[in-house]
Structures are given as structure tokens and as C-alpha cells.
Chain A
């Protein structure tokens, strides 16, 4: 009997190392976490990434400038429109090309619709990871409609290849504007419904409150961007603070984490910032659609068929659904880029996990990952 008790005591000091992933429904793609646990509490979780590395940056050196555009879709397939836009802006800066105003408005419209779709996936899968299945289905239902609109606009539902160097590929299809406006009317009512369904559900709120708090200083030091940064209380949005494209024409708020459930920068703040952002995106699309001209105009700038920018380098930034997405493009004067570099939000978001996972419950790791809204191909590129 004595021996048995001793063995039990010994067991308490046993540390278990687990592989969480690479194939796991809650890792949102092929990511592995090496979790050091003592019972239910983690000592730390070490992210092990790279499973989806396709060397897209190297491909960018081999294709010509326009030929790389479809590859940008594959960097972040949940919100591919921003990856298109960032690369297009970078090459336009290198070429010193002005994008026609109508094309800029079409870019803003398409991007904001995709932001809504991407955030619906983010908040939907997050509720599912926490254990509520229904809200995800509701979110996906709305997203399907947006996919239909985008398909009508550019023919693709996921990898759009819609933005081109110098403009966009297609103008608005007939009747599209009214259909989207009607959808937005419904969608604006859907958001409070979604909030009633899950956001303000007491159990859900308590499940996320004060979990995995990222302080303002940590968020900046770890290079968090977008909703993750704003969730930690940093009031920064490239669309407002370093505006590009058509964004200076629109009125919108930038939601910032306020500690709605208890602490600024906890999982709930990151979640709710996304909910509020969907409302603002809907506002932007509505403003853009109500003011955009009804007659087709020029949507492509004059770009030479053989894109051959002068030697130089440029960094373009866009506010993607996952935060700042930056393309660093270096030209050596030939028709192929010397270096294409994509800086993505998911990569830096992953790097913070090792630091803040210490002391969390294993179940909270799932909440943390989904609250950061990481997309595996965007980490690995």
C-alpha cells in the first residue's frame, strides 16, 4: 500500500510531451504543436510549422510579374483578395502606374466582402472549437452568399486572381449591385442575431474571458497585426492610418479591444473585434456601392505586356483580414522579380504562442489558436 502511494506521488511530477497536430481539426490546417503538459496544465506549447511550405517566394523569382498573381491566392486562400491586392500595389509602385479610380473602388468592394467572408470563417470556427456548432453553420450560410457574389464578379469562389497589375479583371456584372445591397440589408440584421446566438452567451463569454491575455506591449513586440493587434488595445488600422486605394473616401470606425469580458487582449476581445469589423466592412461596401458610377469606365491602367520595372525596391502594405500584409518586391530591371517577399499576419501570430501558452489549460490552447485566426498556408507560404 505504501509503495502504491509513493508511486502515485511520483506520477505527479511526470511531464508528458504530446504532439498536437499536424492533423487535428482544431489546428486550422497542417500545424503541429509540441505540448509539454503536467496533467491538464501546459508548461508550454511549441509551434512546429512548415508543413505547407511551397516556396512561393522562390516561385515569384521564376515567373514574370503578372504570372505570379495566381500564386498570391495560395498564400492566404481564406482571404485571397488581399494577397492579390498587396502584390498588385507593390508592382504598380515599381512601375509608377496609377490605378483608375473605378478599379480602386472595385478593389475596396471586393476586399471588404472577402473580409466579411474571412471573419465569418474565423468567428464561426472559433465558436465550433469552443463547442458550439450552430453558429458556425450560420456563419457559413452567409459566407456562401458572398462566395456567390464573388463568383459572379470574377468566376472563382476561393482563389480569385481578380486584382491585376494596374487594375481589376472585370467590371460589376449586371444586377450585382442591387443583389449585394439586398444581401447587406439582411446581413446587418444577421450580426445582432449572431451576437444573441453566441457572442453574449454567458457560458461562451466566460469560457474566453481572461484566457491567453496578450498585453499591448507584447502584441507590438511580437509583431501582431490586424484584429489580433487591435484586440490588445492598439488603435491601428492601415486603412485609416496609412490609407491606400479608395479607403480615404469611406467613413468607418476601427473597433479596438476594450476588455469586454474582463481583460484587454484576451480571447474574447480578439473574437469580438472581428464581429464588429464585419459591421464596418458592411458599411464600407454599402457606401462604395451607393456611390460607384452605374456606367462602365476604365478599370485597367495602361500596363505594358512585358512588365519590366526599373531597378529598385518597394514595400506595399494592405490591411488584410489577418492584419497587415506586406509585399517586399525587389526589381533588378529585368522582366522577372529579383525577390518577392510576403510578410503575413499568421506567421507572427504563431510566434507568440510559445510565450503565452505557459500555464494555460490544454483546452485553452484551442481557444488561443482560433482567436489568433491563423491560416496554415499563410504561415508557411
Chain B
């Protein structure tokens, strides 16, 4: 089935809650309504003829200009070899969406990653913890406006240019060599 045909099936079932297919700027996608994401995903995964049983990827995009965070779902069907991309647009100030962990188990870790790096809350997630970063990390690094806080528990994340340190060591060595030379020369002259 082509992406357009899958989209038509989706449209027939969910009506206005499924947006139009984007201009195919290479890969097309459909924006769907936040409230119905679990229903839509379950429909796509289970409906005979569609059976998009493989959640290939779940990630997010940060768009500070539109004040939005988009969660992106890449679905693929092993049986029918077709795929579709769904997007959900969330408010950037307090992004939250229902979990699809009940449809595909792999969403569990993907959603944890998006929560960790983008700060999106997944309602109903069984184990929503940070996955890449420590639990007490501040901020969500893949957001476009992320600023490093200048270290973690006293470990600096800024390193001095190693050349500066090398030059300092060099100077020390040179001064020592000069002293030693002075020490030897001194008594000989006298």
C-alpha cells in the first residue's frame, strides 16, 4: 500500500483528527490530533490490511519559532512493506501526550529518551525516568535553547585549552633550567 492509501484509510476512520498528508518534500508525513494518538496507533497496528506492527522510530523535533515540540512516529509493516510517518504537535511550554507503550513495547524506551532529551511528558508511561542522563540533570539537551549549566556536581564541563597548560609547564622547565645553569656557573666563576 502506498503512503497515500494508508492515509486515506486513516482519514476515513478518524476524519478531521488526521491532518492532510504533507507536500512530499522527500518523505511525507501526516499531523494527527494529540488526544487521539493511542487510538490512531492501535488502529494502524491492528487493522487488517494495514498492520503497521513495527515502530521503527519515535523521536521529537523542537521548533521554538512556532512554540511547538513535534513528536514523530515512524511506522513500518513487515507483512505489507509499507510505512507512514505521523506527527503530533505539542505546546512547547508543557508538552505532554499519551504513551503508545501499550501498542508497541519498544515505545517504552523511545519515550524515555524523548522525555530525557526534550522534556516531553508521556501520560500513562509505566517507567518515565531519564535514560541517557543522570536523574538530577537540569534541562533537556536536544531543545534548541538548551544552555549548559557549567558543570555537574563539581565536575566542570569546560576544559582549559591544553596549550595553555603546556606553555605553563614549559615556562616552569625553562626557569628551572636557567636556575640550574646559574647554580653551576656561579661557583666556577668565583
Q: Which residues of B contact A192 (CB under 8 A)?
A: none
Give the shortest distance, in Å, between B105 (CB) and chain A (any CB): 4
- Asked whether A50 lies within 8 Å of B105 as measured between CB atoms, the reply is no
| Contact string against B for A residues 206-244, beta-carbon threshold 8 Å, 1 for contact and 0 otherwise | 000000000000101111000000000010100001100
Contacts of A53 in B (CB 8 A): 132-133
Given known pairs A94-B26, A223-B56, A341-B57, the reply for A348 and B131 (CB within 8 Å) is: no
Q: Is the CB of B132 within 8 A of A355?
A: no
**A146 on the interface (CB 8 Å rule)?**
no
With A57-B142, A241-B81, A326-B74 given, is the CB distance from A221 to B104 under 8 Å? Answer: yes
A352 to B109, CA, bound (A): 10
The CA of A315 and the CA of B74, in the complex, are separated in Å by 9
B38 at the interface (CB under 8 A from A): no
How distant is B124 from chain A, measured CB to nearest CB, in Å? 17
Tell me the smallest distance from the CB of A381 to a CB of chain B, in Å: 8
Q: Kindly state whether residue A313 has any CB partner on chain B within 8 Å.
A: yes
For residues 39 through 79 of chain B, which have their beta carbon under 8 Å from a beta carbon of chain A?
53-57, 59, 61, 72, 74, 78
A341:B131 contact, CB within 8 angstroms:
no
Contact of B26 with A313 in the complex, beta carbons under 8 Å: yes
**Chain A CB within 8 A of B25 CB:** yes
C-alpha gap A3/B134 in the complex (Å):
44
B80 → A minimal CB distance (Å): 11
If the complex has contacts A222-B106, A223-B54, are A58 and B142 also in contact, measured as CB distance less than 8 A? yes
Residues of chain A within 8 A (CB-CB) of B57 are 315, 326, 328, 341, 343
Given A49-B131, A58-B141, A222-B106; A311-B54 close (CB under 8 Å):
no
B108 located at the interface, meaning its Cβ lies under 8 Å from any Cβ of chain A in the complex? yes
A-B contact count (CB 8 A): 84
Shortest distance between the CB of B78 and any CB in chain A (Å):
5
Interface string of B83-111 (1 = CB under 8 A from A): 00100000000000000000011101100
A285 CB within 8 Å of chain B:
no
Shortest Cβ distance from B45 into A: residue: A221
Asked if A111 is an interface residue, CB under 8 A from chain B, the answer is no
Distance of A57 Cα from B142 Cα, bound (Å):
8
Q: Which residues of B contact A350 (CB under 8 A)?
A: 109
Residue of B nearest to A312 (CB): B25
The CA-CA distance from A350 to B105 in the complex, in Å, is 12
Interface presence of A148 (CB below 8 A):
no
Chain A residues with Cβ below 8 Å from B25 are 310-313
Cβ–Cβ < 8 Å partners of B74 in chain A: 315, 326, 328, 343
**Chain B residues with Cβ under 8 A from A335's Cβ?**
none
B133 touches which of A50, A310, A311 (Cβ 8 Å): A50
Out of A55, A236, A348, name the residue touching B78 (CB < 8 Å).
Answer: A236
Chain A contacts for B115, CB-based, 8 A: none
When A50-B133, A242-B81 are in contact, do A328 and B72 touch as well, CB less than 8 Å? yes
Residue numbers in B under 8 Å from A138 (CB-CB): none
A-B contact pairs, 20 of them (CB 8 A): A49-B131, A49-B132, A220-B78, A221-B105, A223-B104, A223-B105, A236-B78, A310-B25, A312-B25, A314-B26, A315-B27, A315-B85, A330-B61, A339-B59, A341-B57, A343-B57, A343-B74, A347-B109, A351-B108, A351-B109
Name B's A-contacting residues (CB within 8 A).
25-27, 29, 53-57, 59, 61, 72, 74, 78, 81, 85, 104-106, 108-109, 113, 117, 130-134, 141-142
Interface residues of A (CB under 8 A from B): 49-50, 53, 55, 57-58, 93-94, 218, 220-223, 234, 236, 241-242, 310-315, 317, 324, 326, 328, 330, 338-339, 341, 343, 347-348, 350-352, 355, 380
